[in-house]
Amino acid sequence: MNMIAAVVLIRAVPGDVPALARRIAGIDGVAEVYSVSGEYDLIAIVRVKEYERIAQIVTEEIAQVSGIERTNTLTAFRVYSKQDLERAWDMWD
């Protein structure tokens, strides 16, 4: 069961965005990091089995990576996808 638990919007200190992305992508529990258009520079998708791991990843591991100006974490409540539309699959079945 591939559970998305949080989407972390990241604003970088002006500089080497790809290098920052690689440092964050190396953290255990971070599934992917995207460089994106718009007001934020990166989005990190955190996917872990138990919710408790998120605090550690967000408030300790990502928070201490150098080159980050500000983060805004959106925790996922439920996921809806085509396969699940009938059984309104939620993340913790």
What b/e sequence results for 32-67 when a residue is b if at least 16 CB atoms lie within 10 Å of its CB, and e otherwise? ebeeeeeebbbbbebbbeeeebbeebbeebbeeeeb
Smallest distance from the beta carbon of 90 to its own copies, in angstroms? 7
Smallest distance from the beta carbon of 72 to its own copies, in angstroms? 6
d(CA 59, CA 33): 17
User: Binding to its own copies by residue 48, rule CB under 8 A?
Assistant: no
Binding mask of the shown chain, residues 4 to 43, with x at each position contacting its own copies by CB under 8 A: x-xx------xxxxx--xx-xxx---xxxxxxxxxxxx-x
d(CA 89, CA 59): 29
End-to-end distance of the chain based on CA atoms, in angstroms? 9
User: Binding to its own copies by residue 47, rule CB under 8 A?
Assistant: no
Residues that bind its own copies (CB under 8 A): 4, 6-7, 14-18, 21-22, 24-26, 30-41, 43, 50-55, 58-60, 63-64, 68-82, 84-85, 88, 90-92
